[in-house]
Structure 1
């Protein structure tokens, strides 16, 4: 129920009760302004967009901590989210009321990530996305009417062109690796698995008869929690990958030298058990990269890039490459590998020429088959 009454001091008092029966009131100099306010509130209640004015008084830090505690983040993600909020967001936004933070405030804060904290463009976007997720949740919880994180200008992220390893480089790397990891290099370049997925492969995931691999888990190293087997990155990461003969042969030799049970890991640490990423990098990968003469900074993802580039060079479609890599969509694949797809200009020319071939022949030749030169206006 809403009403408007004139006060003894000449002000107009507008009041209403929300869906929970709480009374809210405001005073206006003009009756028309009071009526407009009541109309807006009534419309928001009827459309389900109503936000209690007192809900936004909660501070950003208080709400963000509740949001963070409720989110089922993986350990690595949880650590990053906490750092984004405590290091970059709370010092500026933490004590402010949710409803008091404007789009201009968010633009100023986002710009400060570059100017004050000197963060790289990609890091700025990652930190901003964390804070934006908090505000989206606040809007869904009716703490605020809308998120202030819309239409924010963020620094452009320079696109780095992937330079994939050649087959010769992959083989050179495998040759330099310790014996227990040589097949891992071939396996990675022949399946395109992410490093964690590669470490998580168990014998039971391999169907030697059908020559397929079911990607069902990954091994992750988390600070403070050690090495653990966990779910994959996204729903699309769960996939079945065809195994080429070169991978089958490498696996057969590897399992003969390093036998594993049905539920055992194909690739293990020297002391047994799943591979620890940091130890693998320090004691095997970096040394082998240097010995093979590969570019400094070449990481295990280079095997995944080599796989993708081989598929693209063989003419596989974007959709097929995306599915093999376990990407969420083809747009993600193009964002990383667009420069590797062959230029379509020649195909375009051939397609149009083929479509107009009969007409072109009749234009170039007369009825007696004699070629007619093109006419040029003087």
Structure 2
């Protein structure tokens, strides 16, 4: 590696005219562009080069690049010149996300990242750009939503560092607006029953599966007849119905490994399901089955819940069905079926269930997820601590008088 002068020839031919000022032979690019150039071969053996206005900057870059190559941490300068929008698209294409998560990630970058940062080259992005982006997005996104969007952006730049596209993530040291603690809306038992009565009859049992068993919406709409055992009062949760843009709903694996579980059916849920199966006997419909990603197939399924047209329930279809019933029941606008899962969780907590019990019932990946979601629902730790100490130590004994 070395620093080259682009404006003058290092090996002039005999008789070539020299520059009077420097007594050197000028090149055909003399006086145009940046004068100093560093050339090197990257860790794949490909020729790279970069130009600088000042010789001192070129020499510093030359020394730094040589040291990085010696340590095996040289940067991919070609990738560093790629625009954020293009690099992010390639990164997302190689992520092992499920359909719904991949769709959400694409939407995050399309709406919130690409319009503001997408035109910048990867090596150009600085913490100041990210801070300006955070300030801009904080005007349109709630703090909690901004936190999720920012985590996706930070993951992208962290991957760029790992791939040696950039040396340091521009997201380091960037602060986000603090999110106000917001308690989940928990419906009353009366509201749960009103919801069931206000929905079309073919979906009434959906309410009790969510409120009485804690099933997610995708788990409810992905249930097949052979997964329900009313005699043993159990439901086998081994798949979910996935809705993504551009295709019909399909069967996929549950959200997490621990989401694959056997759920006990309370009497109220059993009764609701029995009535449902008597009135709306499942029929055979064709659906894509991707519960095993390595062996996707098209098969016949007997889903418990379908539309009037005997089709799987798409999330957009369900939104139109849910909204009128939610208004009648007094459920806040923008609150979906997941509110009944919160009802189930808080019911367990208030009746004394442990964090582990609630985690397994809900199919959360870890107890930490359960705690972070419902920590405010457990009794106050201080009150419990006082009660435990008082019950153990009892009354304070009479102290001996001083001698």
TM-score range, shorter chain: 0.7 to 0.9
- Structure 1 residues 14 and 175 mapped into 2: Cα distance closer, same or farther (>3 Å)? closer
> Aligned in 2, Cα 1:99/1:338: closer, same or farther, shift over 3 Å?
same
User: Contact 2:221–2:240 (CA<8 Å) still a contact in 1?
Assistant: yes
8 Å contact from structure 1 (residues 55, 143) kept in 2: yes
Q: Verify the 8 A CA contact 1:161 1:336 in the aligned structure 2.
A: no
Which runs of 5 or more residues in structure 2 are unaligned? 5-9, 11-21, 23-36, 285-300
1:196-247 alpha-carbon deviations (Å, 9 max, x no partner) = 2111111222244543322222223333324333333333332332222322
Would the alpha carbon gap of residues 315 and 138 (structure 1) be closer, same or farther in structure 2, given more than 3 Å must change? same
The corresponding residue for 1:240 is 262
1:17-68: CA deviations, max 9, x gaps? Answer: 54334567899978xx969964x55664465433244441222223223223
1:298 deviates by 4.5
- Contact 1:164/1:302 (<8 A) preserved: yes
1:368 is aligned to none
After TM superposition, the runs of 4+ consecutive aligned structure 1 residues lying more than 6 A away are 2-5, 13-16, 23-30, 33-37
Unaligned stretches of 5+ residues in structure 1: 365-371
* In 2, Cα distance between equivalents of 1:212 and 1:51: 56
Measure the CA separation in 2 of the matches of 1:196 and 1:294: 20
1:147-179 alpha-carbon deviations (Å, 9 max, x no partner): 212221112222321231222322232233332
Contact 2:3 2:62 in 1 (8 A): no
**1:278 aligned onto 2:300:** no
Other structure's SS at 1:61 match: helix
2: CA distance, partners of 1:311 / 1:145: 48
TM-score where L is the length of structure 2: 0.75
Residues 68-126 of structure 1 show CA distances to partners (whole Å, capped at 9, x for unaligned) of 333455454444434433443334333322112112222222222224xx333233233
How high is the TM-score relative to the length of structure 1? 0.79
Q: 1:178 to 1:128 in 2, by over 3 A?
A: same
Query: Aligned residues, how many?
Result: 358
Displacement of 1:137? 2.4
d(CA) in 2 for partners of 1:119, 1:290: 25
Q: Report what 2:238 is aligned to.
A: 216
What RMSD over aligned residues (CA atoms) do the two structures have, in Å?
Answer: 3.7
